Amino acid sequence: MSKPLNQTKIAAALKNLPGWKWQRDALVKTFEFGSFREAFSFMVHAAFEAEDLDHHPAWTNVYNRVSIRLNTHTAGDKVTAKDIELARRIQLFSWVG
């Protein structure tokens, strides 16, 4: 089981994750794309990264926006290193910020 990160570690990680925020015990970010196709292709890529980590986001898609919420259920729905790593991977391939 993953251990929840403390506020200091989360704040330090967020410095390298532009646009991500820590809200209500989760890492959150909304990405806005030029079209639904772009948003959906982003979600497909993110799904492969999530599956690779065996760690799956809570997310919504409305037209050209994808909102992502990351926390770890087995850690009491808190932020863990797995959440930081998935956010980092998503950030690496995102072409919109």
The domains found in the chain, sorted by start residue, are: 7-93 (3.30.1360.20)
Read off the pTM. 0.94
**pLDDT at 25 (0 to 100):** 95
Q: pLDDT per residue over 23-54, tens digit each?
A: 999 999 999 999 999 999 999 999 999 999 99
- CA distances to 24, 27, 73, 76 from 1, rounded to whole Å, are 21, 19, 10, 10
Distance (Å, rounded) from C-alpha 18 to C-alpha 42? 17
In the numeric block, the tokens 């770890």 are attached to: 72
Q: pLDDT per residue over 63-91, tens digit each?
A: 999 999 999 999 999 999 999 999 999 99
Number of other CB atoms surrounding residue 30 within 10 Å: 14
β-pair type (65-70, 26-32):
antiparallel
**pLDDT at 1 (0 to 100):** 63
**pLDDT at 31 (0 to 100):** 97
